[in-house]
A = this chain, B = another copy of it.
Amino acid sequence: MNSFGNQFRITTFGESHGAAIGVIVDGCPAGLEIDEDFIQLELNRRKPGQSKITTQRKEADQFKILSGTINGKATGTPIAIVIENEDQRSKDYSHIEHVFRPSHADYTYQVKYGLRDHRGGGRSSARETAARVAAGAIAKLLLMQHDITVQAYVSQVGNIVAPDYKRLDLTKTEDNIVRCPDAATAEKMIALIDSIRLQRDTIGGIVTGVITNPVVGLGEPVFDKLHATLGYAMLGINAVKGFEYGSGFSGVTIKGSEHNDAFYADGEKIKTKTNHSGGVQGGISNGEDIYFNVAFKPVATIMQDQETVNDQGEAAIVSGKGRHDPCVVPRAVPIVEAMAALVMADMVLLARTNKI
Contact = CB atoms under 8 A, between A and B. Distances in A.
A78 interface: yes
B80 A14 contact: yes
Contacts of A222: 2, 12, 123, 128, 236
A204 B254 contact: yes
A1 interface: yes
A31 B115 CA distance: 7
A12 B78 contact: yes
B203 A256 contact: yes
B31 A77 contact: no
Nearest to A141: B356
A67 interface: yes
Interface string A306-339: 1111000111000000000000000000000000
A315 B301 CA distance: 56
Contacts of A18: 66-68
Contacts of A77: 2, 13, 15, 117, 122-123, 221
B11 A11 contact: yes
Interface stretch (A35-43, A50-58, A172-180, A346-354): A346-354
Given A32-B356, A66-B18, A221-B124, A295 B251 contact: yes
A142 interface: yes
Contacts of A202: 255-257
A29 interface: yes
Interface string A109-153: 101111111000011100010000000000000100100000000
21 contacts: A2-B221, A3-B3, A12-B78, A19-B66, A30-B115, A30-B356, A75-B113, A75-B115, A75-B116, A76-B355, A105-B283, A108-B216, A109-B282, A113-B355, A142-B356, A196-B255, A199-B255, A232-B232, A243-B244, A259-B297, A263-B308
